Amino acid sequence: MAILSYILIVLGGYLLGSIPFGYLVAKAKGIDIRSVGSGNIGATNAMRVLGKPAGIFVLAMDALKGYAAVWLAGVLVNKFNVNADFETLRVIAGIGAVLGHNYTCWLKFKGGKGIATTAGVYLALAPWALLIAFTVFLLAVVITRYISVGSISGAVAVVITVWVMMPQNLLLCIVTTALGALAIYKHKTNIQRLMAGTENRFGKKKSPEANQ
């Protein structure tokens, strides 16, 4: 029964995380966001292609689905007295949500980079670690004017912070490390452009390559 609970929770988290808000908002405006800007369905590309209000909405929804996956897992565990570890189920729900966003089944398993969704997950699992990571993100963006540098810096910061602040939760530490590595991997094209000097700076009129 416990194994079935884990499977259902991670599947539920995946399906919730797989809702492609960036794609849907753009589609409502008659745009296939996959064919413009960076082709990414995340908030940064949505903001550059659709404008700030739409981009902020996509950002909020992508974060909310990560938070909701973890929150709902906790609610279901309590409501149905699931015979499984409470924190483990919440963590795997978060994993499912991030994977759902990054590899959504509705768009041939091509999605975003997971930064906003991961932030929503950690708002539920480790809010203080998220706050520190968000501060690092903001500082990195202010200093470099690169959203990608901020995202990568925030991913590294949340890993370090969770290990320092919550070493007793080994599962969360390991999962955070894996999700941080995934976030950096999803920014591989941004890293290549940074090294080539062709990455877009925040606030600068876009070239076809965007980020998130």
DSSP string, 27-94: HHTT--GGGSTTS--SHHHHHHHH-HHHHHHHHHHHHHHHHHHHHHHHHHHHHHT-SS-HHHHHHHHH
- Nearest 5°: CA angle at 149, between 143 and 153? 95
In this model, does residue 210 exceed pLDDT 50? no
pLDDT in tens, 98-117: 999 999 999 999 999 999 99
What does pTM read for this prediction? 0.92
Euclidean distance between CA atoms 158 and 104, whole angstroms: 24
Phi, psi (degrees; rounded to nearest 5) at 192: -60, -40
pLDDT in tens, 134-180: 999 999 999 999 999 999 999 999 999 999 999 999 999 999 999 99
pLDDT in tens, 42-99: 999 999 899 999 999 999 999 999 999 999 999 988 887 777 789 999 999 999 999 9
Tabulate helix, strand, coil % of the chain (nearest 5). Answer: 75, 0, 25
Q: Which helix H or strand E contains 2, and what residues bound it?
A: helix 2-17
